[in-house]
């Protein structure tokens, strides 16, 4: 199946506890400092928006964000390595933004590592703009890494 056919058959559904083993496996492969199973469980228990992108029973990615007052805060997004830079992340981010709009959110915020060029590129392409920097926000191999704070007006 081609990538365009795969994206055509992609569905967005609620994340559930049965998904966590697969999601944590993806998370460990694609993030420098991955969330634990407990982090995902906490997000589900806190009623954050936790969605899975799936095609033909295979999880391609996931997104977690919280809604507060009038803004959505993107907390985590992960795409299976072999589907990165092929439109799946964009599809999932667009879906998250649509959910936020439907919940009457005015903007979406996120933090991203400056060293994560692929994610920065995706966010900029979508229309996110840099609004700040959080010093020493992320754990890193050599100490701490800053976070670029980005905003998208919904």
Q: Give the H or E element holding residue 120.
A: helix 117-126
Q: Which of the residues 54, 111, 130, 151 is marked catalytic?
A: 111
Q: Match domain 3-109 to its CATH number in 1.20.140.10, 3.90.420.10, 3.40.630.30, 3.40.50.2000.
A: 3.40.630.30
48 tagged catalytic: no
pTM: 0.93
> Does residue 18 sit in helix, strand or coil?
helix
Q: Which two tokens stand for residue 124?
A: 């900029």
Residue 32: its pLDDT value, please? Answer: 85
Alpha carbon distance, N-terminus to C-terminus of the chain: 33
Four-residue CA torsion sign, 51, 99, 151, 53: positive
Residue 6: its pLDDT value, please? Answer: 66
User: Tell me: the pLDDT tens digits for 103-123?
Assistant: 999 999 999 999 999 999 999
Four-residue CA torsion sign, 144, 75, 42, 52: negative
130 tagged catalytic: no
| Count of CB atoms situated within 10 Å of the CB of 18 | 7
Three-state SS letters, 39-56? HHHHHHHCCCEEEEEEEC
pLDDT, tens digit only, all 154 positions of the chain: 566 666 677 999 999 999 999 999 999 999 988 999 999 999 999 999 999 999 989 999 999 999 999 999 999 999 999 999 889 999 999 999 999 999 999 999 999 999 999 999 999 999 999 999 999 999 888 889 999 999 999 9
Q: How far apart are CA 14 and CA 26, in angstroms?
A: 17
Which residue do the tokens 């959080």 mark? 134
Q: How far apart are CA 89 and CA 16, in angstroms?
A: 20
Q: What residue segments make up the domains of the chain, in order of their start?
A: 3-109
Q: Which of the residues 48, 62, 83, 123 is marked catalytic?
A: 123
């Amino acid at each position: 199946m081609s990538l365009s056919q795969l994206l055509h058959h992609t569905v967005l559904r609620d994340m559930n506890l049965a998904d966590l083993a697969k999601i944590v496996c993806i998370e460990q492969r694609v993030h420098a400092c991955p969330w634990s199973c407990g982090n995902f469980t906490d997000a589900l228990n806190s009623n954050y928006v936790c969605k899975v992108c799936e095609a033909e029973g295979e999880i391609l990615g996931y997104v977690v964000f919280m809604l507060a007052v009038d803004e959505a805060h993107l907390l985590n997004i992960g795409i299976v390595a072999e589907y990165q830079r092929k439109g799946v992340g964009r599809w999932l981010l667009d879906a998250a933004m649509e959910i936020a709009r439907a919940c009457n959110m005015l903007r979406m915020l996120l933090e991203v590592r400056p060293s994560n060029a692929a994610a920065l590129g995706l966010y900029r392409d979508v229309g996110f703009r840099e609004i700040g920097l959080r010093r020493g926000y992320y754990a890193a191999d050599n100490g701490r890494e800053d976070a670029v704070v980005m905003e998208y007006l919904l």
